Amino acid sequence: MDLMGHILFSVHMAQMAILLLIVAPLFIIGIPDFIWKKVLQVKLIDSIVRVFTKPLISLLIFTLMFSLYHYPLILDHVKLSLPLHAIFTVTLFLSAMFLWWPIVNTLESQPKLHGLKKIGYVILSAILITPACSLIIFVDVPVYETYFSGEAWLQAMALCVPPGTLSGLSISGPELFTNMPTLYDQQLGGIIMKVIQELIYVVVIGKIFISWYRDEQVNAEAITQKALIDRQNMELHHYQ
């Protein structure tokens, strides 16, 4: 899939959606809490996690990293440099982990969102990433040189295939692998990213809502009792 992502932009966006919206949260969930506790015992790591997983900060960082990565000039440069490609991919994945951490982490010592705040957080994340996807979907010309320029495309491909593999091929771009016009492939990539995001977020919001509703039902009596006590205290304080 990584190789095909260098050939077709639509596959690249599918890869990004899977990496950032599926792998990142499952990576957090899949590591046992006792391992996370050991990792977070390192004060520097704990401080970084606490700062960058604050809801507003994590939302802004992920949105900024995703938007920058898919800015045409930056993506074209990244695809032509193996070190840059590795740095941007790792950094983007870390920003996705920061994004998901307040929702899926289960450590008692770590701050997390609860109930309806989680739903608001997920909805805001969907809204913030929409402009970047919309620009890709509705632009009327190909904007990524490494996907429409034969020379740039071959240079990008040279980073992920053995030397000499491309030398004998009489091709000038990705037309060997698809008859889809470059613009349609680009627009399809934006649609794939947005559709996968929406589907995942609908599932996540549904799961959060069901969990919140069950907690409210279980704790309804305790919540009512606390509200009555608080009201009595307020009235008593008013009369005094």
Residue 238 inside a domain? The answer is: no
pLDDT at site 195: 93
Distances (CA, A) of 23 to 28, 64, 142: 9, 20, 29
Residue of 139, 140, 196 whose CA lies nearest to 11 = 196
CA–CA gap between residue 130 and residue 92 (Å, rounded) = 17
Residue 198 inside a domain? The answer is: yes
Structural domain including 102 reads 2-206
Q: Would you say residue 219 has pLDDT above 90?
A: no
Residue 9 inside a domain? The answer is: yes
CA angle 33, 62, 213 (to 5 degrees): 55
Residue 118 inside a domain? The answer is: yes
Q: Report pLDDT digits (tens) over 140-184.
A: 898 888 887 767 777 777 676 665 555 555 555 566 667 788 889
Length in residues, the chain: 240
Residue 162, judged by CB atoms within 10 A of its CB (0-12, 13-18, 19+), counts as exposed
Residue 57 inside a domain? The answer is: yes
Residue 141 inside a domain? The answer is: yes
CA–CA gap between residue 237 and residue 240 (Å, rounded) = 5
Residue of 83, 80, 96, 130 whose CA lies nearest to 15 = 96
Percent of the chain with pLDDT over 70: 81
Four-residue CA torsion sign, 203, 118, 107, 222 = negative
Residue 125 inside a domain? The answer is: yes
Q: Report pLDDT digits (tens) over 100-140.
A: 999 999 888 887 888 788 889 999 999 999 998 888 999 88
Residue 222 inside a domain? The answer is: no
User: The tokens 């998901």 sit on which residue?
Assistant: 100
User: The tokens 């320029």 sit on which residue?
Assistant: 149
Domain count, the chain: 1
**Cβ neighbour number for residue 208 with a 10 Å cutoff:** 20
pLDDT at site 174: 60
Four-residue CA torsion sign, 60, 64, 11, 138 = positive
pLDDT at site 220: 57
Q: Report pLDDT digits (tens) over 55-100.
A: 999 999 999 999 999 998 999 888 888 888 889 999 999 999 999 9
Mean pLDDT for 2-29 is 90
Q: Would you say residue 9 has pLDDT above 80?
A: yes
